[in-house]
Chains A and B, each alone.
Chain A
Amino acid sequence: MASASLPRVLCVRNLSSALGRTAIQTRAATIRAWRPVSTASCLRWRRQEPVWSGLPTTSGPRVPSVAQRWSSTAALSLQELEEQVLSVLKMFDKVKPEQVTLEAHFINDLGMDSLDAVEVVMAFEDEFGCEITDEEAEKILSARDAIELLKTKLDVH
């Protein structure tokens, strides 16, 4: 019976209407040309140059993530880790860069909400190419917390 294939079709239809417009078509095209993308190139984050230059088909310039830059060379030093964590925070568009310090609390000092905090932790994952579990993520509420965790994950001294 045709009913067996029906749910899949419905599913796509629901999604495309939920996401709107031609999202599915463009997505299908881009997934074929998929490559890992650093969050540094995510639109939401401040950057010097535009992520894409207005053309949906071309991919814009990409900033290599720390994982890509450092994987084959020397290990990250603690100072570099600190700088990198702070710069990820400063790029977050809801945060005033001048307020970012190692000790600033994401929610109390930087004015984020709990969903923003989730997004920041995801950005750390992208930037440093590591996986952070739900339990670990819940404890990251300042740059210092992130550095302490990433130190052990990335074996930084």
Chain B
Amino acid sequence: MGPTATSSSFLSLRQFILRREALCLYRQFLRVSRDAGGAREREEMRRWVRGEFDKWRHTTDEGTVRLLLTQGRQSLNDIKTSIEMTK
């Protein structure tokens, strides 16, 4: 039997750090969304990013979370580049 992933409120240090990274990434997305155009574009982007984060909300597997964080950062960079280009 492997370790069971419970929705316990106790996080290991690693989980705590990953959670912190995820929240920082979300904050970075929101920062970038400020340059995404007007209020409408901004809200559209927020809703999309929020949807992605919510989709993986209950993921506890460390490897998966790491992968998602990497993908998220990549996606953030892509968006930054695109916004720069339209300026």
Contact partner of B39 (CB less than 8 A), chosen from A11, A14, A27, A43, is A43
B75: nearest chain-A partner, CB-CB: A18
Q: Is A23 an interface residue (CB 8 A)?
A: yes
Contact yes or no, A27 B20, CB < 8 A: no
Q: How many residues of B contact A (CB 8 A)?
A: 34
Chain B nearest Cβ from A124, distance in angstroms: 12
- Inside 8 A of B17's CB, which chain A residues have their CB? none
Which residues of the partner chain A approach B50 to less than 8 Å between Cβ atoms? 115
* Residue A99 is within 8 A (CB to CB) of chain B in the complex: no
In the bound complex, what is the Cα–Cα distance between A44 and B41 (angstroms)? 12
Asked if A41 contacts B39 (CB within 8 A), the reply is: yes
Q: Which B residues from 29 to 87 make CB contacts under 8 A with A? A: 30-31, 34-46, 48, 50, 53-54, 75, 78-79, 81-83, 85-87
Chain B residues with a Cβ under 8 A of chain A:
19-20, 23-24, 26-27, 30-31, 34-46, 48, 50, 53-54, 75, 78-79, 81-83, 85-87
Closest 3 pairs (CB-CB, A-B)? A30-B37, A43-B43, A28-B86
